[in-house]
Amino acid sequence: MNKIYVVGIGPGGCDQMTGIAMNALKDSDTIIGYTVYVDLVKDTFPDKEYLTTPMKKEVDRCVLAFEEAMKGKRVSMICSGDAGVYGMAGLMYEVGEKYPEVELEIVPGVTAALGGAAVLGAPLIHDFCLISLSDLLTPWEKIEARLLGASQADFVICLYNPSSKKRHDYLQKACDLMMQYKSPETVCGTVCNIGREGEEYQVMTLKELRDTQVDMFTTVFIGNSQTKEINGKMVTPRGYRNV
């Protein structure tokens, strides 16, 4: 049976890619992905055929992968982070209904929440949720409801896609919503360019986060009521006794 690997390549650097992801790319004839992600792996796998599509051409990218697999090629569809977290795995299964001859294998990777958490310290030790602030595929009203629900339940919240040129004030709006249930002094953190050149992090309060400039390469962490700063790091206790 023809096969496609759907590969999460992690934050960016090949040293943060899982062994199974490296093996899948080595085994592939053709690597397909969004242009920015393909550029991250080209130097490591220079002998592969590369096919790319720009942003907002995700369906075309999936069809391209299946068409190449139908030619008998071993194909990898790559995504940053984990292919199953805001990645291409779900869409590949949907498009794949038209290609029953092609088997899919999902290869996990290190998503931004985990890569960024390691940089910040230990913010995700207790219950947490991931919320994307991008309203390209999700209505803002639904994002708003999720922010309020997660804040009321005292989750640690990790925000993906916190800002863009068209959404420059979305993080500010999100912070205002969360402060309906979270203290303005809640410990928060940001990490930009996780695992890549220019990686930086900051720890701050929720009130300070509201006025912090971020971009699409930044992942934002909002603590719960127990999260604290320890030696400049963001730490959420699990609640172990005698500590």
Is residue 240 included in any domain, yes or no? Answer: no
pLDDT confidence of residue 12: 67
Is residue 173 included in any domain, yes or no? Answer: yes
Neighbouring residues of 200: CB distance < 8 A, sequence distance ≥ 6: 191, 192, 193
Q: Which residue has the higher pLDDT, 239 or 30?
A: 30
Is residue 242 included in any domain, yes or no? Answer: no
Distance CA 33, CA 61 (A): 7
Structure token digits, residue 148:
């309020």
Q: Check whether 59 has a pLDDT greater than 90.
A: yes
Instruction: Give tens-digit pLDDT for 2-15.
Output: 999 999 999 867 78
User: Does residue 118 sit in the same domain as residue 231?
Assistant: yes
Torsion angle, CA of 233/238/241/242, rounded to 10 degrees?
A: -10
Query: Average pLDDT of 74-92?
Result: 96
User: Does residue 122 sit in the same domain as residue 221?
Assistant: yes
Give the structural domain span for 30.
Answer: 2-107
pLDDT confidence of residue 166: 82
Query: What is the CATH classification number for the domain harbouring 100?
Result: 3.40.1010.10
User: Does residue 95 sit in the same domain as residue 133?
Assistant: no
User: Does residue 92 sit in the same domain as residue 158?
Assistant: no
Q: What band does 242 get if pLDDT is binned at 50, 70 and 90?
A: low
Which amino acid, 62? C
Q: Is 121 exposed, middle or buried (0-12, 13-18, 19+ CB in 10 A)?
A: buried
Distance CA 111, CA 210 (A): 24
- Residue ending a domain, among 67, 85, 107, is 107
Q: Is 197 exposed, middle or buried (0-12, 13-18, 19+ CB in 10 A)?
A: exposed
Structure token digits, residue 117:
């958490």
Classify residue 90 by its DSSP letter. Answer: H
Q: Check whether 92 has a pLDDT greater than 90.
A: yes
User: Does residue 120 sit in the same domain as residue 95?
Assistant: no
Query: Average pLDDT of 190-194?
Result: 95
| Residues of the chain above pLDDT 70, percent | 98
Q: Into how many domains does the chain fold?
A: 2
- H helices of the chain, in order, are 19-27, 35-41, 58-70, 89-96, 112-120, 140-152, 170-178, 206-209
Is residue 117 included in any domain, yes or no? Answer: yes
- Residue ending a domain, among 84, 107, 130, is 107
Rounded alpha-carbon distances, angstroms, from residue 166 to 70, 136, 137, 177, 193: 39, 11, 14, 19, 20
User: Does residue 121 sit in the same domain as residue 215?
Assistant: yes
Query: Average pLDDT of 226-230?
Result: 98
Q: What band does 106 get if pLDDT is binned at 50, 70 and 90?
A: very high
Instruction: Give tens-digit pLDDT for 137-166.
Output: 899 999 999 999 999 999 999 999 998 888
Structure token digits, residue 237:
């206790």
Rounded alpha-carbon distances, angstroms, from residue 154 to 103, 114, 159, 220: 41, 19, 15, 16
Of residues 8, 29, 211, 180, the one with CA closest to residue 92? 8
- Residue ending a domain, among 44, 76, 107, is 107
